[in-house]
Structure 1
Amino acid sequence: MRTLLRLAYDGAPFCGWQIQPKHRTVQGDLDDALSTLLRQPIQTMGAGRTDTGVHAKEMFVHFDCIPELGKGIQDLDQLVHRLNRFLDPAIHIYEAREVQRNWHARFDATARSYEYILCASGSPFWRNNAWMVERLPDLAKMNEAAKLLLTETDFASFCKAGSDNKTTICAVTRAEWVMEAEVVTFHITADRFLRNMVRAIVGSLYEVGNGNWSVAEFEARFAQKNRGAMGTSAPAQGLYLTQVTYNNL
């Protein structure tokens, strides 16, 4: 029996999504909870891997188990209820449902969307959930530079050094900054993302927005396909995985 979970999490207490020896991760907590409740070893597969401190408003995972659920668990709705009582409040399960045996949370995803939040208001409520900056950058210039992401396919310039990606080709379909109340949010959607890609893009666009680079300089640096030519990665706490898209759900 293959089961899908739709969940969200605050990434602050975790060293990312993926299980790591001697480190607390979202996947580690979830696997432990499922294994305990279902009384069998469970290994989840996520739609992606978020880094330390990165949040998810929507993450999909799947796992396989024998058809019989654990003691006292009558159906998947009850499993959701029990999981939410068992897990740290930093993780919340919204939904569980049975899916086809060959459905895959990672490989069946056709697009993923992220948001990155900048805050210049000084509000203490954003300090763990946004990049706190002294002043808001120039949105018009950042959006002009962001449009270049829509016409490029090779994102080697924003790939973390040492990553084991087989290809750096990605298709970005949305990349824009939007003013939203006291914060500025960067919205980006693509068919796939490289490790650290969104934070590297945000850090580089910020160089344009704060006047350190012109749009033309951003374009020239981007064309070098060299991570060292781009800006420093933005802090993790401002990044959110917001949507995973499937054609078969």
Structure 2
Amino acid sequence: MTCSRRNFLAGAGAVIFTTGVAASNLVGGRKTLAATMEDGVKRYGMVHDETLCIGCTACTDACREVNNVPEGVSRLEIIRSEPQGEYPDVDYQFTRISCQHCDNAPCVHVCPTGAAFKDDETGIVAVDNFKCVGCGYCLAACPYQVRFFHPETKSADKCDFCRETNLKEGKQPACVESCPTKALTFGDLNDPNSEISQLITQKPVYRQKVELGTAPKMYKVPHGKGEIKG
């Protein structure tokens, strides 16, 4: 018997965290995912340099156009901070909100149909629209709250580093190609000679919510003003 949206949702229970899927334990006083995942052949990641970002949103526009993301939802957002400093020396911090492409992704662990998966070849966390039954488990499990239901496909959706668009054509992700200040760097974290690997060893970087054991592959160069909150 095949698992369709209808027959799955008709018999689905309300409990998300069951045997064999993600759970949280306290280990040494810190939260970590009980389940673990293997690294891919490649581990594509990204760096967002907040010192170079000017908040122009060219990246969000390019993402929407290349990946046919409809209005009302977004795979990528740039959030502007409150003003920092005093007039006339006022500055802003811009931070990227998008999928973190976790090496140990909670969304993958809780998905009952395998629709949410981590690509063994690239390490990219992606969604198979045909397998998604719209249960919403992955949306609830994501600590970064960056998944959404696509209003047209009715399946879960999010940033996939342009896996089905630009990457297939041998290009960089749309956001990277469109950034006028080169605030975004994309590449293979398994390659010590790649630009991204070199960058994260040369500059101070941080990742969000690493204490959860998600091992996110989205790195950020901090703006340098105020407190960084993971």
Which TM bucket (shorter chain)? under 0.3
TM-score, normalising length: structure 1? 0.25
Answer 1 or 2: which has greater strand percent: 1
TM-score, normalising length: structure 2? 0.27
